[in-house]
């Protein structure tokens, strides 16, 4: 069987696939359509999660009785790590040995128009490293280890999480429109759910929320199609109402006093987080021999992104523990000013070759009370420069068959800027190799070479290397 290697967002390899709704979901169709033949196979064919199956692959229903309308599948990823595991970057798993995703997916075809999907997931990938500070503005005290975590979409205490759970109303044979309501990964950026190491662009774009999404997709109606979506969800953090100290008390709605020397946001917060919305628009072509797509994403407030909310909440002290609520919904923090975000996604596949381009950026500058572009002492927050973080990456892969086994290799480069307080390296080289050793069983090896921010910018000024080995199996 020909290998369908992980080449998602620059560093994902040999993950386990899930099945649910991709054929009818705009963003998923754009993500899957060109990703090697596994994306075009039926549900019975092996699908690995690392092969860019972001939200699952739809199971063709047999409408006879209830048990023919429910499909169950899942998988297990086991990771081993060697090398420098003490940097504490966001998105890196620092456990020597770990179960990085045991997942069980249930897809129910309710009728011709309605489907339901639920995904249970468990892992013991790394949380904040021992010795890392999670006090406000932690890198002003020590730059290593950083307080990054492998992922911010799960309950801090671990255990089994309902990673996704949504209802989808769609029938693309009748109408190129769909509606999805429930816990879902919204259409901001493209990424894999459980890579060996998260690409830098995934850290600043991954957004799992209780959301409503409406979209359209004409990819199946002609040689070239268009797709798009719009979504809305509640902000995980509350925006502060600025205040100044005046004679007799405080006056809401005015700027924070220039004499403030703490990164913690001051003032009174609003009662509820403001809704966050976003848009996606793309164009592409689906073909077994040649496929491509290009899409642009917008999000009204980047505080909705899991990794960004985590970094802001620690830096400004409003969520210094980096706490997320039940089932991975970040809550309890505050922020000073809204910052929009933009993402550009490009994919090309021709024969055994494929290339991915990813770019994510803030559209405005964060308040220096929320995030600074360099590490500054607490007493120097006033007058510091706010951050305008961005991340980009390119990844290229080649699939082949040798010794009657499907195999794949890939090489990628990633870069970030103004992201030291999001606990990212400044750049990363990544290379990988994988093999389908037997049916539904994949073994993959990945090498990450990270280059940290300079000492003057709050990093360590050093390089580090990490090797990851993954054994992944799929069932169902």
Q: Give the tens place of pLDDT for each residue, 391-434.
A: 999 999 999 999 999 999 999 999 999 999 999 999 999 999 99
pLDDT of amino acid 252: 41
Do the Cβ atoms of 472 and 77 come closer than 8 Å? yes
CA 299 to CA 309: how far, in whole Å?
Answer: 14
pLDDT at 293 > cutoff 70 = yes
Do the Cβ atoms of 119 and 162 come closer than 8 Å? yes
Question: Confidence band (pLDDT; 50, 70, 90) for 8?
Answer: very low
Please compute the mean of the pLDDT values over residues 441-467 and round it to a whole number: 95
Q: What is the DSSP letter of 212?
A: E
User: Closest Cα to residue 66, out of 21, 8, 116?
Assistant: 116
pLDDT of amino acid 306: 94
Please compute the mean of the pLDDT values over residues 310-325 and round it to a whole number: 86
pLDDT of amino acid 270: 54
pLDDT at 187 > cutoff 80 = yes
Question: Confidence band (pLDDT; 50, 70, 90) for 150?
Answer: very high
CA 465 to CA 96: how far, in whole Å?
Answer: 14
Residues in a beta bridge with 215: 178, 229
Q: 334-335 and 238-241 as β-strands: parallel, antiparallel, unpaired?
A: parallel
**Structural fold of domain 8-475:** Porin (2.40.160)
CA 389 to CA 361: how far, in whole Å?
Answer: 6
CA 323 to CA 140: how far, in whole Å?
Answer: 21
What secondary structure, in 3-state letters, does 288-353 show? CCEEEEEEEEEECCHHHCHHHHHHHHHHCCCCCCCCECHHHCECCCEECCCCCEEEEEEEEEECCE
Q: 97-109 and 70-83 as β-strands: parallel, antiparallel, unpaired?
A: antiparallel
pLDDT of amino acid 95: 94
Please compute the mean of the pLDDT values over residues 265-271 and round it to a whole number: 49
pLDDT at 48 > cutoff 70 = no
Question: Confidence band (pLDDT; 50, 70, 90) for 286?
Answer: confident
pLDDT of amino acid 217: 92
- Tell me how many helices (H) and strands (E) the chain has: 3, 21
Q: Work out the end-to-end distance of the chain between its first and last CA atoms, rounded to an integer number of angstroms.
A: 17
CA 164 to CA 119: how far, in whole Å?
Answer: 5
Please compute the mean of the pLDDT values over residues 44-49 and round it to a whole number: 35
3-state secondary structure of 392: strand
Query: What's the predicted TM-score (pTM) here?
Result: 0.82
pLDDT of amino acid 173: 80
More confident of the two residues 433 and 242: 433
More confident of the two residues 207 and 255: 207
Do the Cβ atoms of 361 and 417 come closer than 8 Å? no
pLDDT at 381 > cutoff 50 = yes
CA-based torsion, 149, 153, 156, 159: positive or negative: negative
User: Cis link prior to 145 (omega < 30° from 0)?
Assistant: yes
Do the Cβ atoms of 180 and 212 come closer than 8 Å? yes
pLDDT at 321 > cutoff 90 = no
CA 52 to CA 54: how far, in whole Å?
Answer: 5
Q: Which positions ≥6 away from 250 have C-beta within 8 Å? A: 243, 244, 267
pLDDT of amino acid 160: 86
Please compute the mean of the pLDDT values over residues 434-451 and round it to a whole number: 97
Do the Cβ atoms of 33 and 45 come closer than 8 Å? no
CA 223 to CA 28: how far, in whole Å?
Answer: 18
Question: Confidence band (pLDDT; 50, 70, 90) for 17?
Answer: very low
pLDDT of amino acid 24: 38
Please compute the mean of the pLDDT values over residues 376-401 and round it to a whole number: 93
pLDDT of amino acid 32: 38
Question: Confidence band (pLDDT; 50, 70, 90) for 63?
Answer: low
pLDDT at 39 > cutoff 60 = no
């Amino acid at each position: 069987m020909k290998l369908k290697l992980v080449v998602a967002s620059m560093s994902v390899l040999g993950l386990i696939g899930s099945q649910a709704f991709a054929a009818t979901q705009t963003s998923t169709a754009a993500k899957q359509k060109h990703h090697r033949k596994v994306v075009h196979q039926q549900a019975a064919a092996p699908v690995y999660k690392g092969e860019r199956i972001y939200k699952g692959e739809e199971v063709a229903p047999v409408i006879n009785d209830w048990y023919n309308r429910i499909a169950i599948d899942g998988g297990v990823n086991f990771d081993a790590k060697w090398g420098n595991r003490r940097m504490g970057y966001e998105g890196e798993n620092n456990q020597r040995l770990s179960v990085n995703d045991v997942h069980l997916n249930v897809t129910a075809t309710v009728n011709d128009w309605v489907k339901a999907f639920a995904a249970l997931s468990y892992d013991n990938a790394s949380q904040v490293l021992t010795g890392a500070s999670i006090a406000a503005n932690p890198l002003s005290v020590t730059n290593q280890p950083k307080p990054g975590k492998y992922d911010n979409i799960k309950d801090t205490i671990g255990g089994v999480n309902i990673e996704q759970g949504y209802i989808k109303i769609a029938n693309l044979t009748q109408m190129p429109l769909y509606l999805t309501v429930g816990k879902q990964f919204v259409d901001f950026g493209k990424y894999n759910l459980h890579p060996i190491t998260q690409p830098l662009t995934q850290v600043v774009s991954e957004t799992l929320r209780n959301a409503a999404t409406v979209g359209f997709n004409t990819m199946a109606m002609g040689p070239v199609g268009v797709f798009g979506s719009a979504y809305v969800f509640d902000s995980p953090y509350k925006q502060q109402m600025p205040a100044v100290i005046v004679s007799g008390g405080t006056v809401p709605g005015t700027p924070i006093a220039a004499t403030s020397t703490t990164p913690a946001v001051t003032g009174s917060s609003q009662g509820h987080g403001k809704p966050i919305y976003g848009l996606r628009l793309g164009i592409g072509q689906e073909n077994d021999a040649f496929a491509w797509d290009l899409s642009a994403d917008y999000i009204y407030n980047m505080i909705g992104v899991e990794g960004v909310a985590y970094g802001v909440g620690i830096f400004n002290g409003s969520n210094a523990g980096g706490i997320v609520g039940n089932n991975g919904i970040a809550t309890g923090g505050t922020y000073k000013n809204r910052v929009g975000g933009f993402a550009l996604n490009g994919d090309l596949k021709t024969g055994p070759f494929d290339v991915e381009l990813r770019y994510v950026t803030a559209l405005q500058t964060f308040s220096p009370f929320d995030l600074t572009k360099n590490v500054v002492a607490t007493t120097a927050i006033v007058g510091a420069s706010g951050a305008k973080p961005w991340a980009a990456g390119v990844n290229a892969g080649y699939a082949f068959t040798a010794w009657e086994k499907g195999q794949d290799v890939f090489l990628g480069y990633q870069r970030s800027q103004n992201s030291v307080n999001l606990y990212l390296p400044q750049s990363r080289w990544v290379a990988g190799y994988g093999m389908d050793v037997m049916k539904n069983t994949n073994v993959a090896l990945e090498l990450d070479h990270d280059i940290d921010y300079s000492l003057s910018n709050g990093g360590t000024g050093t390089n580090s290397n990490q090797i990851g080995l993954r054994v992944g199996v799929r069932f169902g």
